Amino acid sequence: MAIFPMTRLRRLRANPGIRKLVRETQVTTQNLVMPIFIRPGKKQKREIKTMPGIFQLSPDLALKECEQLLKSGISSVLLFGIPESKDAMAHSGYAEDGIVQQSLKLIKSELPEMLLICDVCMCDYTDHGHCGVVKEENGQKIIANDPSLEILSHIAGSFARAGADVIAPSDMMDGRVQVIRDELDAAGFKHLPIMSYAVKYASSFYGPFREALENQPKFGDRKSYQMDPANSREAILEAKQDLAEAADILMVKPALPYLDIISKLREQFSVPLAAYQVSGEYSMIKFAAKHGAGNEETMVMESWTAIKRAGADIIISYFARDYAKSL
């Protein structure tokens, strides 16, 4: 390669047309997934204080949200439920008339082209706020792995029967992908893919999500089942295990603080890779923009480009609705 002054790298940055022509990384609306929080009732729209612009929506308004998303070019949503009642064993999670099940049937009947991804976890539906069954062991409360698997499989099966297009287990129990695959296959849903939250860290960036889903743990924390933020090699093990259990898509959560992990998984695996730009990432950008520390749109676009550049095929983001048209 010739050196300056014959080589001038700025030539390919001279104007917008050239920059677009040689741009290495492209984010499109087809890459984006919008999370939606669904609560009981009709015409219910409750703003989440720590996530300005994001709401808990009743099923009828969730349907309208999906209609607007389709118009903007986004055809994929990730559904979370806030049930009327919660108990220790997450029974409302797999009730045939549960809040997510109602929404699946409604949206699928009106908008069959919308791709409906369902988060599968117990924490949405337990009164203790943990992602698995609570047991007493040596005088201490623990989150028991194996007893949780059957409940998780029931939730997944219930969502499949209600019309889910993708099942996304987020609980981080060992072996849950396998039991969910078995449940789906036995029930005649061999065609449904599993998007596994394969690499989910015990992150400090989930704070606003706790308010959104009303699932703050009543005791302890989730560090005994979610990954230690200090660990990188372990991410490869988690991903390999989920792939061995027949996961179809892998996910890294959070996204921006773990771009190195996204990159490692991209180098190791050829399956589709998703990254979740979580509530804390969303709120940081919102609050920075509000106080004049940066332009919201350019920060969003830069963050999406970084996530895509690191290797993600799919970006789950609360900004998807507002900035789809900018793409």
Catalytic sites, residue numbers: 200, 253
* CA atoms of 230 and 202, how far apart (whole Å): 10
* CA atoms of 282 and 307, how far apart (whole Å): 14
* CA atoms of 76 and 222, how far apart (whole Å): 28
Contacts of 127 (CB under 8 A, 6+ apart): 86, 87, 88, 218
What is the bridge-based pairing of β-strands 140-144 and 133-137?
antiparallel
3-state secondary structure labels for all residues of the chain: CCCCCCCCHHHHHCCHHHHHHHCCCCCCHHHEEEEEEECCCCCCEEECCCCCCCEEECHHHHHHHHHHHHHHCCCEEEEEECCCCCECCCHHHHCCCCHHHHHHHHHHHHCCCCEEEEEECCCCCECCCCCCEEEEECCEEEEEHHHHHHHHHHHHHHHHHHCCCEEEECCCCCCHHHHHHHHHHHCCCCCCCEEEEEEEECCHHHHHHHHHHCCCCCCCCCCCCCECCCCCHHHHHHHHHHHHCCCCEEEEECCHHHHHHHHHHHHHCCCCEEEEECHHHHHHHHHHHHCCCCCHHHHHHHHHHHHHHHCCCEEEECCHHHHCCCC
What are the φ and ψ backbone dihedral angles of 48, each rounded to 5 degrees?
A: -90, 115
Amino acid at 268: Q
